[in-house]
Amino acid sequence: MRYVPGQRVNYKNYSAQIVFYYPSYKKGKDAYTIKFFKDGTEFHRLCVEEELSEEMQIQFDDILK
């Protein structure tokens, strides 16, 4: 399991949150249910791990160095 429920991730151009984890969903790939907002509407979607990326947080200390 790469992501845990409650973790923030990126799905396409949207910030999403992991809701459920499905181990070995199809052909040994892990799947996740995510929720994200698009134009003020909440969506839920089932995604395989390759469709998601970790949300990067920039630390101000790193920018100032």
Kindly report, residue by residue over 32-64, the tens digit of the pLDDT: 999 999 999 999 999 998 999 887 665 555 555
Alpha carbon of 21 to those of 5, 24, 28, 41, 55: distances in Å? 7, 10, 13, 23, 18
Q: How many angstroms separate the CA atoms of 32 and 53, rounded?
A: 12
Q: Give the predicted TM-score (pTM) of the model.
A: 0.76
Count Cβ atoms within 10 A of the Cβ of residue 44 and give its class: 0-12 exposed, 13-18 middle, 19 or more buried. exposed
Residue in 34, 32, 15, 35 with CA at minimum distance from that of residue 23: 32
Q: Which residue has the tokens 């160095």?
A: 65
> What pLDDT, in 10s, does the model give residues 2-42?
899 999 999 998 999 999 999 988 888 999 999 999 999 99
